[in-house]
Amino acid sequence: MFTSRAEHRLLLRYDNADLRLAAVGHAVGLVPAERHEAVREKARLVSAELERLAKEWVRPENEHGVTAMEYLRRPGVGYRQATALASPAEPLAWEVAEQVEVEAKYAGYIAKARAEAERQARMEERVIPEDFDYSSIVPLRREARDVLTRFGPRTVGQAARLSGVTPADIALLLVHLRRMAGAQARTNERTASPATASECDCGDEERLATSDAGRDAL
16: in domain: yes
Range of the domain at 79: 3-124
Same domain? 56 vs 147:
no
Domain end position, chosen among 124, 158, 179? 124
**Do residues 155 and 49 make contact, with C-beta atoms less than 8 angstroms apart?**
no
Q: Provide the 8-state DSSP code for 62.
A: T
- Tens of pLDDT, residue by residue over 142-171, are 999 999 999 999 999 999 999 999 999 999
Helix (H, G, I), strand (E, B) or coil at 157: helix
**Do residues 79 and 90 make contact, with C-beta atoms less than 8 angstroms apart?**
no
Same domain? 9 vs 82:
yes
Same domain? 141 vs 212:
yes
**Do residues 128 and 154 make contact, with C-beta atoms less than 8 angstroms apart?**
yes
Q: Provide the 8-state DSSP code for 218.
A: -
Same domain? 11 vs 91:
yes
CA–CA separation, 49 and 46 (whole Å): 5
Same domain? 8 vs 116:
yes
**Do residues 83 and 94 make contact, with C-beta atoms less than 8 angstroms apart?**
no
Structural domains in the chain (count): 2
What does pTM read for this prediction?
A: 0.65
CATH of the domain at 210: 1.10.150.570
151: in domain: yes
Quote the pLDDT of residue 97: 95
